[in-house]
Amino acid sequence: MKKKAFLCSSFAPGFHPFEGGTKEEITSILGETYDFVTITDQFKEMTLEDMRQYDCLMFYSAPFWGMKGDSDFVANLLEYIATGGSFMIMHIISTGAIPETAQVVGGGFRMHPPFNKYKFYPEPPCEHPILEGIEPFEIYDEMHQVYLEQSLNKTVLLCINNDNGRPHDAKHQDIYAKNSGNGVELAWCNEFGKGRIVYACPGHNAESYRNPMLRKFLANCGKWLAREI
């Protein structure tokens, strides 16, 4: 029997277009595990009882901006996760703008350079079940620089090491500079209380989500959140 999922994004025109491709790709990738009972751009009024109707809350580029840690939604979300709910953040880790959720989810969005080609690779020596069958892959996408909660005991799943970065100049400064040798953490998972959390940055648009290896990775994430692997 499939799990029940709540999927939320911004439907604002021009901001990470969700309808017309991206929504369909996400639901296709995760549809083996979840029935998407609700797909919406509204979430701030959700009660704890509302959240508990779902096995997993999923947010793609959702507008958490401006929310405060003392809001009812944040308190409800943290209790939902701590008592066994699953929470997935795709692309923009906008929950990081709220200190209380940043500490639980593991970081927050800072900025991003222009679109570029990036190579993702599984973080060794991790043997997490999400990484079963995952090989390095390249994707042309918008990657993010994030603030990291270093004290959080999270499992890093994917890093990038950009060997095709733009040169640093006054107009374009790629934070993942060519030949930097720095691995940048852009997908991880962790547990909070009885709940499970996944953050995965790759996936700006429908074309990104058509990458076969990214699809397999996200499908594995969904299964882990559903406690199927």
Q: Name the nearest CA neighbour of 211 among 28, 11, 10, 13.
A: 28
91-112 pLDDT per residue, tens: 887 776 677 887 888 777 776 7
The single-letter DSSP state of residue 129 is G
Q: How far apart are the first and last CA of the chain?
A: 15
| Nearest C-alpha neighbor of 155 from the set 133, 110, 193, 124 | 124
Identify the pLDDT of residue 163.
52
Query: What pTM value is reported for the model?
Result: 0.87
Query: Contact at 8 Å (CB) between 28 and 58?
Result: no
Q: How confident is the model at residue 171 (pLDDT cuts 50, 70, 90)?
A: very low
* pLDDT tens digits, 120-147: 888 777 789 999 999 999 988 877 777 6
Length of the chain: 229
Say whether 101 sits in a helix, a strand or coil. helix
